[in-house]
Amino acid sequence: MNYRHSYHAGNFADVVKHSLQWLVLDYLGQKDKPYWVLDTHAGIGMYDLQGEQAQKTGEATDGIARLLGRDDIPAVLQSYVAQVQQLNPTGELRWYPGSPWFSAEQLRAQDQLVLCELHPQDSLALAANVKQEFATAGSIKVLTETNGYAALKGLLPPPIKRGLVLIDPPFEQRDELQTLVAALDAATKRWATGVYAVWYPIKDPLSIGDFHQQVAQLKHVQKAYAVDILIRDAQGPQTLNGCGMLFINPPFGLLQQVDEVMNYLTPLLAQGRGAQWQGVWLT
């Protein structure tokens, strides 16, 4: 309960996570049929990069700021970048949206979005931001002070057959990867056809390898694809050397475009030698 994403908003991991999230939702929105989104660890949805917490770390400087300063952004990333730019119309980078905002921006009248946040203060801030800042045609429901893992049990299968579950835990607990595996096991048993997107930090590559193997062995997981990026050579198990996104039932639109996205972002977000990415089918 100590984690506050406002210290890390707009960093390299956010750029990777939200650009891929945008592609998934863009693909789901290409059909007229409605879709449903559950964000299990939603945060507050909007972050002030000039606020005290963001300024304390300055992580956005090596993240979204690098991307906004480019004039060669590929077409596949332009919609994502445009969402950030419209929040900063003067060109000065102050606001960075969280995953709830990106989801809300793509929501149509027939779609539904459910946001969960456990932290008491952050969940209230999320509810306020949804009410004041999120312009959307669809339906948004905020579950304040709600454990996202518990929400998976209570909300799946959803009322709409198509959709995305976005899981982005704070990783405060040492056994978070094991918790994720158990949650995915239970969730895919209830809703095997949904798209799942799971963000994770890469500190110790061996633990990530074990995580991948455990996901591959889950009974109800037929298709699993992992996108991992390292921004430098490993600097020890306590250092954030990169991050990954695990996709269960990855949509075709994502698979078509992931190479172009990651080939562009990896050298751009590099913070030392050894920056690289890989996409791996786990099942």
For 181, how many CA atoms within 13 A lie in the half-sphere containing its CB? 16
Angle at CA of residue 80, ends 74 and 83, nearest 5°: 130
β 163-167/95-97 pair status: unpaired
Q: Is the dihedral of CA 70, 261, 270, 9 positive or negative?
A: positive
Q: Which helix (H) or strand (E) holds 269?
A: helix 252-269
CA 115 remoteness from chain centre: 13
Cα–Cα distance, 37 to 25 (Å, whole number):
9
Is there a contact between 270 and 232 (Cβ–Cβ < 8 Å)?
yes
Task: Report the candidate in 184, 180, 22 with the shortest Cα–Cα distance to residue 97.
Answer: 22
Which residues are catalytic, by number?
A: 168
Nearest to 249 by CA among 227, 226, 225, 228: 225
Q: Which two tokens stand for residue 153?
A: 């049990």
User: Can you read off the two tokens belonging to residue 194?
Assistant: 């949904």
Output DSSP code: residue 42: -
Which has the closest alpha carbon to 241: 206, 209, 205?
Answer: 205
